[in-house]
Chain A
Amino acid sequence: MRIRPSEITPEPVYRSRREFLAGIAGLGAAAAFAQTSSAEQVMNVMLIERLQYKHNARYSTTEAANSLADITGYNNFYEFGTGKDDPARNAGSLRPRPWSVVVDGECEDKGRYTLEDLLKPHALEERIYRLRCVEAWSMVIPWVGFPLGDLVKRLKPTSRAKYVEFTTLMDLKQMPGQRSHVLDWPYLEALRMDEAMHPLAILAVGLYGKVLPNQNGAPLRLVVPWKYGFKSIKSIVRIRFTERMPATTWALSAPSEYGFYANVNPEVDHPRWSQKRERRIGSDSFLSRQPTAKFNGYAAEVASLYSGMDLARNF
């Protein structure tokens, strides 16, 4: 008997089913069943795990993407430790399912959304983006996600909403790095409304066609490719619309070094190091640095958002 490839349950799907069932058992079945039927939830989990997506060539770079090992083994996620390999080592304690996101502030459709409800109407696409870290290294990453603007529209922000603020999970058990006061937890990031509506800004749920690994911000993270990496907040549990510019974590931590906008800009150095060049992780020419492009090479698409603004002051 031959088994067609389409009949084989992909690994993430059966793994997540098992995790999901184990989760229910652990929580106490009664509590879980009280909200939705388990069958529906299993189906929803499957919808997410399958990650059916279309490649979006218009918004994807043709540069060589980094290996999965580099992307998942070298990154910053201070909630799991401050070393570059700490997230890969410690993110196993994160439980990305079940997950819910609170929506509040200046919008009509406030409430607590399960991840499944949040994602259901959105078609996933693959976007291969450059990522430029404020520490002067960079990668190319094939994300799977959907435009943030589509979700924002769905939540019906009021006319007073000028900014969107995002919050990372705060849980000392799941995120052991939060036990040390390296940053003021929980992690907060925000975008101006026009930035959030820009088609390049996405919410990612996957990487290399698979569900996002914990260390890369599972189950839901922001990706804003023309800004330094720290703007792309991970493991989001809250989306809030505000009238005033929100205070963001790194800007609070060192106001002279990190601003609200954090647009990639080789002309504005970090006070302690140059931003003119970057080291492309995993490239053949890893020994030398390559020049950094303004807005991380997305100037044609996003420069107009900042026309008339002094980018040296609004760094």
Chain B
Amino acid sequence: MLKLSTDRATRWLAKPLAFLLCLLPAAWLLAGFADLAGFAHWPAATLGANPVEKIQDTLGIWGLRLLLTTLTVTPLRELLGWPRLLLFRRMLGLFAFFYISMHFLFYLFVDQSLDWRELLKDVAKRPYITVGFTALLLLIPLAVTSTKRAMRRMGRGWQRLHRLVYPAAILGCTHFYWQVKADIREPLVYVLVLAVLLGWRLYRYRRRAGRGRAEQDARQYQQAARTGLPVEPLPE
């Protein structure tokens, strides 16, 4: 009998399922493209009157959603006590990177029609493009060092490097927020989710730092007591 709570079940059942789920937006876009090009008729997958905008927005929004989902893995793992959630984190992060890269490549090749001069002007002149592009640049080293080998070789440096995901997520939300015309409700939802995710980390960090200091003080006191040196009393 296959027990659902084992590593094996996670690896061979839950993970492939999550993989397929992450592919759904891309599959939907492909179906929409087939519908548009006349290969097939799928009204449900229609890209509408402005297919370029639809594809561009869909890739971007799923990139941001998956990036935020990646950031929920650690909090959920600790709050629910499900250590196996960690097994999904790399896959979610790489899918986020996939959608965000496609979002950029689509902008480059289709929206800007590979017009490098216009593109560079856009990146320099338009703040929302500047921050979006920076977010993508920050994610590249994370994707490159996502292998087990890189993780082993880099040791503690790996974790430090991968903290770049925080500024990338902040810039990604800013990118969304800055390009809407008047209706900021939707980007605001993403900003709030990110604030909760980052706020939880800050809270945990400060609590740990506080606990760490207390433990260190206690250790020093015991050591000093053992060696018989005079010590100051512990602060209350």
Contacts and interface: CB of A to CB of B under 8 A. Distances in A.
Interface of A: 69-70, 73-74, 78, 82, 84-85, 135, 137, 180, 182-183, 253-254, 269, 272-274, 276, 279, 281-282, 286-289
Contact of A287 (B48, B110, B127, B185): B110
B126 interface: yes
Interface stretch (B69-77, B79-87, B174-182): B174-182
Contacts of B182: 78, 82, 182-183, 253-254
Shortest beta-carbon contacts, A-B, top 10: A74-B49, A82-B183, A70-B49, A182-B183, A288-B113, A281-B49, A182-B182, A253-B182, A287-B110, A281-B50
B18 interface: no
Contacts of B122: 274
Given A137-B50, A274-B121, 19 more contacts: A73-B49, A74-B48, A74-B50, A78-B182, A78-B183, A82-B182, A84-B49, A135-B181, A137-B53, A182-B182, A182-B183, A254-B182, A274-B118, A274-B122, A274-B126, A281-B49, A286-B52, A288-B110, A289-B111
Contacts of A269: 125
Contact of B126 (A74, A85, A254, A272): A272
Contacts of B49: 69-70, 73-74, 84, 281-282
Nearest to B179: A272
Contact of B48 (A84, A180, A288): A84
A286 B48 contact: no
A171 B154 CA distance: 62
Contacts of A73: 48-49
A279 to B, nearest CB: 6
A130 to B, nearest CB: 16
Contacts of A182: 182-183, 185
Interface in B75-133: 110-111, 113, 118, 121-122, 125-128
Nearest to A250: B182
Contacts of A286: 50-52
B219 to A, nearest CB: 55
Contacts of B52: 279, 286-287
If over half of A's interface residues share one DSSP class (helix, strand or loop), that class is named, otherwise mixed; here it is loop
Contacts of B110: 287-288
Contacts of B111: 289
Contact of A289 (B51, B113, B121, B178): B113
A287 B128 CA distance: 22
Nearest to B181: A135
Contacts of B125: 269
23 contacts: A69-B49, A70-B49, A73-B49, A84-B50, A135-B181, A137-B50, A180-B185, A182-B183, A182-B185, A254-B182, A269-B125, A272-B128, A272-B178, A273-B126, A273-B179, A274-B121, A274-B126, A279-B52, A286-B50, A287-B110, A287-B113, A288-B110, A288-B113
Contacts of A276: 118
A4 to B, nearest CB: 37
A279 B50 contact: yes
A157 B53 CA distance: 44
A183 B181 CA distance: 10
A287 B50 CA distance: 9
Contacts of A273: 126, 179
Interface string B129-160: 00000000000000000000000000000000
A84 B49 CA distance: 9
A175 to B, nearest CB: 15
Q: Which of B48, B111, B121, B122 has the most CB of A within 10 A?
A: B48
B43 to A, nearest CB: 12
B89 to A, nearest CB: 33
A79 to B, nearest CB: 13
Q: Which of A69, A254, A281 has the most CB of B within 10 A?
A: A281
A272 B179 CA distance: 7
